[in-house]
Amino acid sequence: MRLKWAEISKNSLKHNVKAIREMLPSAEIVAVVKDNAYGHDLAATLPALLEAGVTKYAVVYQRDALMVSELGAPWVLVLDDFPDAQLAEEYARRGIRFCITDYDWIERGVLELPIQFHLFIDTGMHREGVPWYATDAIKKISADLGSRLEGICTHMAHIAKDSELYRLQLQRFEEALCLVPDSLMVHVSSSGALHVGVPSYATHVRPGIALYGYTHPEVKPVLSLKATVVHARDVDEGDGVSYGWRWIAQHRTRVVTVPVGYADGYNRLLTNKARAGVNDFTLEQIGTVTMDFTMFKAPSEVRVGDVMTLLGEWGTGRFWADDWAEAIGTIPYEVLTGLSPRIPRIAV
């Protein structure tokens, strides 16, 4: 009997690819699968993305690029990791290319490597990239790389039509764009582009969280978290549950336990705030979330061996990553990437 697992919906993932293409028809998708596909597991997600016709992928680190390549991706962009010179020929053979994210990489000999590059321009995020105002550096990188400069990109600190910051970053990027050949791949937008579109000069878009079902109503969540009920008991009125008795029964109450806790990424801040589902029943989480177990108030119909949905939907209920994030004051990105690798991901 499986005790806990995450289900990765291939249909939802393919739906999201289709929705993104329909909303942004002028820009080809570069699927962002960094951090183990936002916690969804590369091995569980890549086959569905490839089946959906996605051929381009982006990760942060070169070790992940090698894994994505092994899973069948023909084109992978490393967003911010200095390339290992000893593997340069292997990278070229596998279709792995790198963003240049710092001017000092020039002094470190990166331009001599026989691989393709994208020039990452810092337009205001101030996290990585060659500054937009470093015109001499931008011209030198473009000239020295020649045909090995495949693309130019940036990353937005905020994407909204009425955002002065967004307009400022676009203006800065366009200044840099004038310094490089106009035949390059151009990508400036992430999932936020679903709300504002992409600039007319953008050839590609880098969706991340939208691929996995968040930030836009047209996409569907991909990951559901499930667990098997392992204990059930009745708690008398006046007795509490879990450490510190932070929940006390107001009447005789049935309490069930699932083997998922904060060591699995089920955040302790969810204490007395979360909900879950068994069949058509919605269950209230009660008592302090512990390292390996969490308790819920349940109707008498819920039994040991029943499957509980801790992240997902059931009957008329739901508790997705955005609900979870709202309950504890964070973002869906952190919820999804925080789920422990000890929870197996299963493509369904």
Task: List active site positions.
Answer: 34, 243
Q: 297 by DSSP, 3-state: which?
A: strand
**Residues, the chain, total?**
348
Q: Rounded to whole angstroms, how far apart are CA atoms 127 and 265? A: 27
List Cα–Cα distances, 271 to 262, 267, 293, in angstroms. Answer: 10, 8, 12
List Cα–Cα distances, 199 to 117, 170, 186, 204, 205, in angstroms. Answer: 22, 8, 10, 10, 10
The burial class, CB within 10 Å (0-12 / 13-18 / 19+), for 232 is middle
Pairing status of strand 240-241 against strand 281-286: unpaired
The secondary structure of residue 231, as a DSSP letter, is E
Q: Taking Cα atoms as reference points, which of 204, 129, 137 lies closest to residue 169?
A: 129
